[in-house]
Structure 1
């Protein structure tokens, strides 16, 4: 029987410089799932990979013996030395893994307490695992319950109320430098969901202009049109970067697209006027060395997370309520999980009983064919069935000693209930003989 495990790292356990090394873009998740299953074979029953800017987690239904090998696999898949990531990894098993999944989906483990985006990201991860054939009964049931719990938490608590989003934090940090955003020009690099959220917040401050730079102009134009903005290709960035006071970047690039040299050139063209750069991508879009430039105020997702954290204290009452809901639902799921482990045993007992019944019934038919009376055949059938069914418990009782015998004496009457001595059944008689 497989156990449920959660294995990974997040913004609590690892800085962005480590998270970006193991982050998996959407098109990498399927190959990673295939590699996992190929590496561990039948020891890995089910798998789902959740990878966002704040976390990379493996949800597994697997045999315990593979757990020690997961860090090595994770490092090898990302072409890393395992010593780089091992100190930042966490492992949750069974009840802890279930609770973690519930907390993640409910926004309790997010950098932005109560944020709803993670729920959609988790649903995408589950859908990808299902399409890859890596999802089975155990994880499917876990995630369906996870989504139900997240909905319950958001419905019954104020966990998401007055949430300070990453996008709002980006605006606040820019305001610290420029004061009034309406005097600035803003450039968004990328056109994904996070950029869309940021564009909405910045547009509300009425900046002088908004520009969207994206690999495909069509998608960039679709976003820019919502905010009366313009678009340009990523290839044109080096020639126009100096025109913008605020740059917010979040692409799926595996390498930085805004390098130190490019930004140094832009600063000179700006006559050393300040520039705010917000890098929301993991892996990062902007080379970390840019932070050494005195004219550039560079903020990463971890920097924004610290701003967000300051607003989390007001929602702690909702957290207490949410944790209570989660505790209850974890116990419900663990009860289902424990009951599920009984199913193979019940199936085995049923199969064994049917085999014995079939064999004894065949013997009875042969006796009838030889001319024995139906009454005698039934008596022999009943006696033979009783002996067969009682053989194993009698043998176990006879061979047991001390504590084990006491346990069997307590359990067997419950499994084979018998009446008082004046109405002795074959089962009771057999157990009595075994005891002596």
Structure 2
């Protein structure tokens, strides 16, 4: 049985997602317990936390209890925020996630890479079962199919692209804007590409883990030393934070309130954000893409500082292009149904092997007799070859219909009936054989 436990931006606020994210390692270890599941893959992104389990016989309630214990959340609190998907529904959900259909910004392209890295991490640590490997590999195939057939991921914008669009009117001249990028992971690379697409030229990078020099050298930007962060913040117009820290890196103490005043917050739920009420010398714009947060929420209270976090970005996510999304969801549903059917067909493999072994055993006995006769000169070599080809063709024809029927029964959830029929007809191995 495939199980998926998901907590995302639709059902949980950012604070709850942060609490779970901080315990990702603990959760992953707990859900990977062999007594609980044969395999586990954890997908943690900026607006979702998901666990995919290969766990035959595991009840969803048991999985939720395990997740609650690992996260330190009450069962009631977790149940209110967590959705559970089983079997085909779990496959359909993952296919939709990897295609960007469940993102705050529908069609975002980065999620496919995050899904791929999740199965890579599980494989590297020995947590990826064969069933989960098949599931995630198919998710990658479906994501590419959606991208090429619908163009949804081309139309959709990533969260960082959406965030930059929201601050576009505040920045004004992107070429003159001083930008500080915090973080050096995969999302930092996407953020840097989005900043350059807007025309940003003056970009520095700071890394809490000390990787700023390597990232800056490979991307052609300026590194910011650990002891230079506060000075950099005083001269920066825009901060884009996307580091994997467990506690806020930028706290209120790092900011002063002497630069500007009167800057309106990002509070409009619909439409374009309001223009400043009065001119400002230089606002400091902060975009927090981190989960857990990179920037403490109370920084928004500093005069002249505007903070845009994941919750606010999600509120401004555009309505998707409905035609493309509907087509994409149809692709996802069809793929999930086919994946489930193929999984069911694998239940017929033991019966198919038994049937083919029986027929092929008789075939080889007959072919051996024919070859012996040819060796003794009783038949011509050409006739022997023709007879062998005819018998193999006949065996294939005889096996075809039973093979198709066994697979059909498996797709209908009746693989046991097919296996029982084969065993009943063929009898015990000791009673088999040709005459």
Separation in 1 of the partners of 2:118 and 2:290?
18
Residue 224 (structure 2) aligned to one of 205, 223, 232 = 232
- In the alignment, what sits opposite 2:174? 181
Residue 136 (structure 1) aligned to one of 115, 129, 140 = 129
| 2:33 is the counterpart of 1:35 | no
Distance 1:22 1:317, change over 3 A: same
Separation in 2 of the partners of 1:151 and 1:201?
22
- In the alignment, what sits opposite 1:251? 243
Any idea what the Cα deviations from partners look like across 1:350-375, whole Å, max 9, x if unmatched? 8xx9xxxxxxxxxxxxxxxxxxxxxx
- In the alignment, what sits opposite 2:15? 17
- Cα displacement (A) at 1:32: 4.0
Question: 3-state SS of the aligned residue for 1:42?
Answer: coil
- Cα displacement (A) at 1:276: 0.8
Distance 1:145 1:289, change over 3 A: same
Any idea what the Cα deviations from partners look like across 1:64-101, whole Å, max 9, x if unmatched? 44421333322332334444433110001111111101
Question: 3-state SS of the aligned residue for 2:175?
Answer: helix
| 2:313 is the counterpart of 1:291 | no
Separation in 1 of the partners of 2:13 and 2:129?
33
- In the alignment, what sits opposite 2:344? 338
Separation in 1 of the partners of 2:162 and 2:68?
33
Q: Note the aligned Cα RMSD (angstroms).
A: 2.9
Any idea what the Cα deviations from partners look like across 1:176-199, whole Å, max 9, x if unmatched? 323333343211112222222222
Correspondence list, 1:206-221, <5 A:
206-207=199-200, 209-215=202-208, 219-221=211-213
Separation in 2 of the partners of 1:243 and 1:233?
15
Separation in 2 of the partners of 1:146 and 1:294?
46
Correspondence list, 1:109-128, <5 A:
109-128=102-121
Distance 1:201 1:143, change over 3 A: closer
Correspondence list, 1:17-416, <5 A:
17-23=15-21, 28-29=24-25, 32-38=27-33, 41-207=34-200, 209-215=202-208, 219-225=211-217, 229-263=221-255, 265=256, 267-268=257-258, 270=259, 272=261, 273-307=282-316, 309-310=317-318, 312-313=319-320, 315-343=321-349, 346=351, 415=421
Separation in 2 of the partners of 1:306 and 1:291?
17
Distance 1:342 1:202, change over 3 A: same
Separation in 2 of the partners of 1:68 and 1:230?
50
Q: TM-score, length-normalised on structure 2?
A: 0.71
Q: Which runs of 5+ in 2 are unaligned?
A: 262-281, 359-416, 423-435
Separation in 1 of the partners of 2:27 and 2:175?
45
Separation in 2 of the partners of 1:227 and 1:203?
11
- Cα displacement (A) at 1:300: 0.9
Equivalent residue pairs, number: 341
User: Does the 8 A contact of 2:41 with 2:128 survive in 1?
Assistant: yes
Q: TM-score, length-normalised on structure 1?
A: 0.70
User: Does the 8 A contact of 1:186 with 1:246 survive in 2?
Assistant: yes
Any idea what the Cα deviations from partners look like across 1:390-434, whole Å, max 9, x if unmatched? xxxxxxxxxxxxxxxxxxxxx99x959xxxxxxxxxxxxxxxxxx
Separation in 2 of the partners of 1:324 and 1:207?
39
Separation in 2 of the partners of 1:178 and 1:148?
39
User: Does the 8 A contact of 2:22 with 2:246 survive in 1?
Assistant: no
Separation in 2 of the partners of 1:84 and 1:232?
41
Larger helix fraction of residues = 1
Separation in 1 of the partners of 2:41 and 2:141?
18
- Cα displacement (A) at 1:251: 0.8
Structure with bigger gyration radius: 1
